[in-house]
Amino acid sequence: MMRKIHLPVYFFALAAMLFWGLSFIWSSILLKYYQPITIIFIRLIISAVFLFTIIRFFWVQEKVERKDYQLIFLSALFNPFLYFLGENYGLKFSTPTISAVIIATIPVFSPFIAYLTFREKLTPINLVGIAVSFAGVIVMLITSDLSLAADIRGVLCLFGAVLAALLYSVTLRTLTIKYSALTLIAYQNLIGIFLFLPLFLVFEFKTATAVPLNGEIIASMLLLAILASSVSFVFFAHSVKLLGISKTNIFSNLIPVFTAIFSFFLLSEDFGAQKIIGIALVIGGVYLSERTRKRV
């Protein structure tokens, strides 16, 4: 008898990756009008309001224990604060596709963090996966005359975002045992607002308030905040619950693919053979690393 395929579960996983892939497009559009801190700050405000509204009217409200506030603050420091700073400044000095490809290497480095913090085993194939993914990133970043295809500042910021995401995963693993993803993301985004507030007021308040609103700004900001910062995380958590972490993470290989395709159609970004090869190598390396990871 054939095993029943739970199509809704795969739909949720695919939708989450699609929205995260599109987030690089929406952020790139907003960077035409605002500086990175402004985009993140407004994005977090909209997302926090949306999530706490959902919790208030449609979710079982969870009481956060006092002893866990410090760990939740630390997780918020890594993500959204440091992660979004790295991602948005990386996107400012790079392209949506290159940004998505570098961010897609996060699962490749996860085994090292898991080994250092939780003593999860590494395999030789993990190292092969890292090498293949790095080869893909190099292909994407090096032009025919051996110069960088992206500003080095963008590359460094993006790898900083990767490091922040890895450290975030360590704190998140402990918290998800006690709290739902919706509750954690809502509190993390709320804390993120206060972390970004001083930076916004000091560095970008005047320039941000001088920008007249238009339909492109409003649509991109709402899509970014509600779909990429809120709905995607709920869909991802639902997929992890039903499919497991390893199977769900395989879908993350599609993020740079979605970004590259939509960048080509919406932003007229170049989509040549070199970029296709680089994307394929990164995705192959991530997939290889995820499929062969040993569990303790």
Residue 26 domain-assigned? yes
Helix ranges (DSSP H) in 59-95: 69-76, 83-92
Half-sphere exposure at residue 220, Cβ-oriented, CA atoms within 13 angstroms: 21
Residue 70 domain-assigned? yes
Count the domains in the chain: 1
Q: Grade residue 4 by pLDDT with cuts at 50, 70 and 90.
A: very low
Strands (E), the chain: none
End-to-end, the C-alpha distance of the chain in Å comes to: 32
Whether the CB-CB separation of 131 and 285 falls below 8 Å is answered with: yes
- Which residues constitute the domain of residue 244? 7-291
| Highest-scoring range by mean pLDDT, 14-23, 64-73, 190-199 | 190-199
Identity of the amino acid at 258: F
Residue 84 domain-assigned? yes
Residue 296 domain-assigned? no
- Res 296: pLDDT: 40
d(CA 269, CA 261): 9
Could you tell me which of 21, 2, 1, 36 has the C-alpha nearest to residue 261? 21
Higher pLDDT, 41 or 105: 41
For the residues 189-205, what does the mean pLDDT come to? 96
Question: CB-based contacts of 227: which residues, under 8 Å, 6+ apart?
Answer: 19, 22, 23
Identity of the amino acid at 65: E
Whether the CB-CB separation of 46 and 221 falls below 8 Å is answered with: yes
Residue 208 domain-assigned? yes
pTM, whole model, 2 decimals? 0.84
Residue 62 domain-assigned? yes
